[in-house]
Chains A and B, each alone.
Chain A
Amino acid sequence: MSPTRADVAAVACAELFRGDGEIVVSPMGLLPSIGARLARLTFEPDLLLSNGEAYLVDTDGVIEGWQPFRKVLDTVVPHGKRHVVMGANQIGRHGDQNISAIGEHSRPVKQLLGVRGGPGNTVNHRTSYWVPRHGKRVFVSEVDIVSGVGYQRAKGFPYHDVHRVVTNLAVLDFGGPDHTMRLVSTHPGVSVDEVCANTSFELDTSAVTETRLPTDEELRLLREVVDPNGHREREVPS
């Protein structure tokens, strides 16, 4: 069986954590969670996995640490030994992210979650984003309300480190001119034009590759261990 788009996206999410070593990873959402477990089972065995509640758990669900919300905000986030993957209702060319509200803040067209931990995460430790539906309404020239802080606003901030954006179409980073968004790779079967057509601003496309395919072992782990019920296929239809 050949890899599906969801398999490729899961591996791209796993790749977010390559080189992270013994730090806490906080994957928000399904594909980042699958990616984090896959990374820990393969090339990053020392990762500490947060279960989104008060526990650090290994890939079998065994509790190996206590990390309640107050500890996260008081010590883990500012200490910086953490890599979070958040969602983004909007994301801008310099990496500003919005999960707060759409429209004017005083009377939003659409209220979302609120800024949550976005402001603190992005000025304290490595942050990546997962966008399941890459489109012009998400990839906007300017976000309405800045939750996560991008490169332009973070000039001079010592610990700002927005790493990558993984979507259902592609992997992007901020290696373009003046830390603008750059297309790193498109998933197999996706063209550069398709990504650009689904992005409201100009992307740096000077060095695009193809997102790597899962290895046989990664495919086995995805199908038999990490996501045997195939939830990923519903979030990223082929």
Chain B
Amino acid sequence: MPDKRTTPDEIVAELRDGMTVGIGGWGSRRKPMALVRALLRSPVKDLTVVSYGGPDVGLLASAGKIRRLVFGFVTLDSIPFDPWFNRVREQGAIEVTEYDEGVFGTALSAAAQRLPFLPTRAGLGSAVLDLNRHLRTVRSPYDDGEELLAVPALKLDAALIHLNRADARGNAQYLGPDPYFDELFALAAERTFVSVEKVVETAELTEAGPVQSLLLNRSSVDGVAETPKGAHFTTAAPDYGRDEAFQRHYAESAKDPDKWPAFADRFLSGDERRYQDEVAKFHEEAA
């Protein structure tokens, strides 16, 4: 049995310039932030990032890693807008493919099912069609004859996902209330890398939650990195919730070009251990 345990830096070393990288989670929820932080430290660039966007998008934008973003929204949930995302958009600094959030999932589903496209009503009549001239419609071949949007498969070179538990072989589990679209990201990708709060023995997985919580089996997982608090400052329920104080600090720093260098220097210039240590100190100072 292969042992797929690895580290964030080794995972990021597998990525190349220009790749299409899907990032799991939703908004500021269960984002693979330790993997994103490793990407920030790496030389990889010109990425097409595919994300139900949260601070993963903002941080990657801050470091100029994104050439194109495929998205339906970018939000920090408890804070409506990510300042870095808004800045790069308002500067016209990144290309975007903007989909309805359902169209986005349909595109991943098509890739996961190895179909060229899947039909949907979502997007018809809206700016999704005006802004994405590559999109085509298709007419139902049945008596209804309805015209539908033919959403092209959105294939990923790699998917980055954060879950609660996995075994060393790559069977991976979420323990929170929502799987988001992580399974589709994994199936749409050539290679999938999962960071988890804790690597455990296989038998422990079904002790921690019902068998339905085993979201990914090892056939679709290429690497597992144990990264405690690896989703920080987003949620990883039930292990921890969002770090609202730190998120506010991120957003305030990101909003102010004079404040950002200090934030980046303190939290993003070192390795993951340094990040987590500085976050702990940040909370001590605030206490």
Contact = CB atoms under 8 A, between A and B. Distances in A.
Contacts of A117: 72, 100-102
Interface in A123-153: 123-124, 145-149, 153
B122 interface: yes
Contacts of A113: 73-75, 80-81
A101 interface: yes
A112 interface: yes
Q: Which of B127, B130, B178 has the most CB of A within 10 A?
A: B127
Nearest to B147: A156
Interface stretch (A70-78, A171-179, A186-194, A228-236): A70-78
Nearest to A70: B181
A120 B101 contact: yes
B32 to A, nearest CB: 17
Contact of B121 (A107, A114, A124, A148): A124
Given A69-B26, A115-B72, A120 B127 contact: no
A78 B127 contact: no
B18 interface: no
Contacts of B121: 78, 120, 123-124, 157, 159
B126 A69 contact: no
B219 interface: no
Given A113-B75, A114-B72, A120 B26 contact: no
B210 interface: no
A201 interface: no
Nearest to A112: B81
Interface stretch (B39-47, B83-91, B254-262): B83-91
B59 interface: no
A108 B90 contact: yes
A73 B102 contact: yes
B178 A69 contact: yes
Nearest to A105: B131
Interface residues of A, number: 43
Contact of A111 (B85, B103, B122, B125): B85
Q: Which of A66, A120, A123 has the most CB of B within 10 A?
A: A120
Given A111-B89, A115-B72, A123 B122 contact: yes
Given A111-B81, A158-B146, A119 B126 contact: yes
A68 B179 CA distance: 7
A49 B111 CA distance: 33
Contacts, number: 131
Nearest to B52: A69
B85 A73 contact: no
Q: Is the interface of A mostly helix, strand, loop or mixed?
A: loop
A68 B73 contact: no
Interface in B146-183: 146, 177-181
A77 B125 contact: no
Given A113-B74, A114-B72, A114-B74, A119 B181 contact: no
A100 interface: yes
Nearest to B183: A70
A160 B90 CA distance: 32
A95 to B, nearest CB: 11
A149 B124 contact: yes
B40 to A, nearest CB: 21
Contacts of A105: 98, 127, 131
Nearest to A114: B73
A154 B123 CA distance: 11
Contacts of B19: none
Contacts of A106: 92
Given A69-B26, A106-B92, A112-B81, 19 more contacts: A53-B178, A54-B177, A66-B177, A70-B105, A73-B101, A107-B89, A107-B92, A114-B71, A115-B101, A117-B72, A124-B121, A145-B131, A147-B127, A149-B126, A153-B125, A153-B126, A154-B125, A157-B124, A158-B146
Interface of B: 26, 53, 71-75, 80-81, 85-86, 89-92, 98-103, 105, 109, 120-128, 130-131, 146, 177-181, 184
Interface of A: 53-55, 66, 68-70, 73-74, 77-78, 100-101, 105-120, 122-124, 145-149, 153-154, 157-160
18 contacts: A54-B178, A68-B177, A70-B105, A70-B179, A73-B105, A77-B122, A78-B122, A107-B92, A112-B81, A113-B80, A114-B98, A115-B98, A120-B100, A120-B122, A146-B125, A146-B130, A147-B126, A153-B126
Task: Report the 8 A-B pairs with minimum CB-CB distance, sorted nearest first.
Answer: A120-B122, A107-B92, A119-B126, A114-B73, A54-B177, A149-B125, A119-B100, A111-B89
